[in-house]
Amino acid sequence: MRNGCVTVFGSSRIHAREAAYREAFRLGQLLAEAGYTPCTGGYSGVMEAVSRGAVEAGGRAIGVTVTSWGARLRPNRWVTEEVAAPDLFQRIARMIAADAYVAMPGGLGTLGEVALTWNLFQTKSIPRRPFVLVGPAWRAVLACLPEAVRIEPRDLELVRLVDSVDDVIGAIRGRRSFYRPRQASGAHTDREAPRRNTVMASTRPRRRPSSRR
């Protein structure tokens, strides 16, 4: 049974000997076994590992590549269906046309893809779909966001955070809760703003002290 396409974002710089590669490989297996087809950027690292895991589990793997990068990059050999986009912008647009999204740890490219997808949900530019961030690195990012950018609790509810790839399928199917920021002791939420006394300055000119005694 096919359950749709799941776009996976992640680093291109990990190697087969690393734990992150094995995690991504496991994710590809789990997606294929659950009837999903993973869609990645089609090149190395997480993209290769997810594709390989899916294909070795009997599934398919879509890779969205960039035509202008053809002279220096080739899709990994586990991609069963290559979609060639003319440029990076069209590539991202094609990858966003999915039924769910999963973000593994990555670099600036991954961060940009996550931020764009998240903002498209926030602005209601695309229908809201499951969006899962995997691992403690993303927990750290989400924890510091309110200190760095203007973000509201309802924005954080657009993503789901899980600790490992074994929790991804449950999160996609709605069996995992949305991210909730941890409330620090004594901290105030938007609905519980601290009260403060405001003293209005007088508009009347002050009287000068009389020189008469």
Q: Where are the domains of the chain?
A: 4-172
DSSP assigned state of 80: S
* Of 121-125, 179-183, 190-194, the least confident: 190-194
Residue 178 above 90 pLDDT?
Answer: no
pLDDT of residue 195: 41
Burial of 137 (0-12, 13-18, 19+ CB in 10 A): middle
Between residues 185 and 54, which one has the greater pLDDT?
54
pLDDT of residue 102: 98
CATH number of the 4-172 domain: 3.40.50.450
Cα 132 from Cα 163, distance rounded (Å):
10
- The per-residue pLDDT for range 75-86, each reduced to its tens digit, is 999 999 999 999
| Neighbour tally for 130: CB within 10 Å | 18
Most confident of 83-92, 138-147, 148-157: 83-92
The mean pLDDT value for 12-27 works out to: 96
Cα 136 from Cα 150, distance rounded (Å):
22
- The per-residue pLDDT for range 25-69, each reduced to its tens digit, is 999 999 999 999 999 999 999 999 999 999 999 999 999 999 999
pLDDT of residue 146: 87
Residues 6 or more apart in contact with residue 57 via CB below 8 angstroms: 28, 29, 32, 33
- Tell me the CA distances in angstroms from 122 to 33, 70, 83, 158, 206, one per residue in order: 31, 34, 27, 8, 52
- The tokens 């950027």 sit on which residue? 41
